[in-house]
Amino acid sequence: MSFVRTAIAASLALGVSVTQAQVATKIKVGLMLPATGTFASLGTAIENGFRLYVTEQGGKVAGREIEFVKVDDESEPSKATDNVNKLIKRDNVDVLVGTVHSGVAMAMAKAAKDTGTILIVPNAGADAVTGPMCGANIFRSSFSNWQPGYAMGEVVAKKGHKNVVTITWKYAAGDESVRGFKEAFEKAGGKVVKELSLPFPNVEFQALLTEIASTKPDAVYTFFAGGGAVKFVKDYAAAGLKKSVPLYGAGFLTDGTLEAQGGDADGLLTTLHYADSLGTPRDNAFRASYAKTYKLQPDVYAVQGYDAAQMLAAGLAAVKGDISKKAEFAAAVEKATIDSPRGAFTLGKSHNPVQDIYLRQVSGAENKVVEVASKALADPGRGCRL
Ligand code: PHB
């Protein structure tokens, strides 16, 4: 801090503008991610991805060093407003990056909007963040919950399934993923015959699995992620359902989870904006760099973190590191093509990625691409006025 003051005082004495002095200081990135709970490993992968991009740029983005301030949001919506305000008001961050959980992200979006702080969401799919709550200063590097769900609705209908049961956690992400699925599936003539749910982050699936067995649908569609996804896939197989009722999901079901799920995940089909076997030079380079740095294979969360950093870099480059120029920053991110490991993408009008959704199949430790299920799928951005 004293360096900042000294730098500003010195530059004022020299007749240099305050802006130039600010540019000489670090950009403060407030990372609000889960470090505990069912989504803890997702938070780690996002942070790893973000830091990897910064490191690849020599620790600077648009000439400015990055300083991180972190809060563990615990995927706990009731603490979200306090947590985000710590970053905005106590730590005075220049930009917010977070989070995984949709309920927490909506509180972040509200605080970002109220204060004009730039927010980049590196996972949470809450439709509202790029819908009714959208903002000129709010961007997403990930997906909307609607996107993978909608793509899977078309896939499951094409497979000839007619009656489907859905099962998920009862909160924004689960509800919206199922809604996207249902929209496409029922448009194509299918019927969602039962919508099962349990509170987040519960994992007592037994009674619901018994209900699926007695309902005997043609297929099941699900949204679970992180630790809950590991347990659901294992319990589904242990209940004997894997053999009798095909299970489909948004790709989070099998992303970052395969080691723990083992053979119980083998063969599962999911839809997502990333896969482990894209084989493009861009993705190969990213995967090699991530594996070398962290001694781990990357997953979709790592990609979203990496791309959040790329979006920050696109905006910062346009304003030559002066993040106070918010309108120019936003205009640059809106126009940018992000060279993502998933495939290059641009943002739609409501600031959500317009992207290919892959149909993937689990084979051993990988989510392998089967085909592009939905090309350049844009979230409808319903309710967003920008
Ligand atoms: C969400 O809450 O929006 C969410 C959480 C975990 C995921 C995907 C979406 O893997």
- Whether 356 has a pLDDT exceeding 70, the answer reads yes
> Token pair for residue 184?
């496409």
Give me the amino acid identity at 119. L
Q: Is the peptide bond before 44 cis (omega within 30 degrees of 0)?
A: no
Query: Strand, coil or helix: what is 368?
Result: strand
Q: What is the DSSP code (8-state) at residue 166? A: E
Ligand 1 pocket: which of 42, 46, 102 to mutate (most atoms <8 Å of CB)? 102
The tokens 């294979």 sit on which residue?
A: 297
Ligand 1 center to 244 CA (angstroms)? 28
Record the tokens describing residue 100, joined without a space: 């995984």
pLDDT for 8 = 42
- Nearest atom in ligand 1 to the alpha carbon of residue 300 is 10
CA dist 65 to 94, 313, 344, Å?
A: 12, 11, 26
User: Rounded mean pLDDT of 37-62?
Assistant: 97
φ/ψ of residue 257, rounded to 5: -125, -10
Residues with CB under 6 A from ligand 1: 39, 42, 100-102, 123-126, 145, 173, 225, 252
Percent of the chain with pLDDT over 90: 93
What residue owns the CA closest to ligand 1's atom 7? 225
> Considering the chain, what is the average pLDDT of its residues?
94
Q: Is residue 361 scored above 90 in pLDDT?
A: yes
pLDDT at residue 20 is higher than 80 = no
Atom of ligand 1 nearest to the CA of 75: 2
205 and 259 Cβ atoms separated by less than 8 Å: no
User: Which of 32, 39, 146 should be mutated for ligand 1, with most atoms under 8 A from CB?
Assistant: 39
pLDDT in tens, 199-246: 999 999 999 999 999 999 999 999 999 999 999 999 999 999 999 999
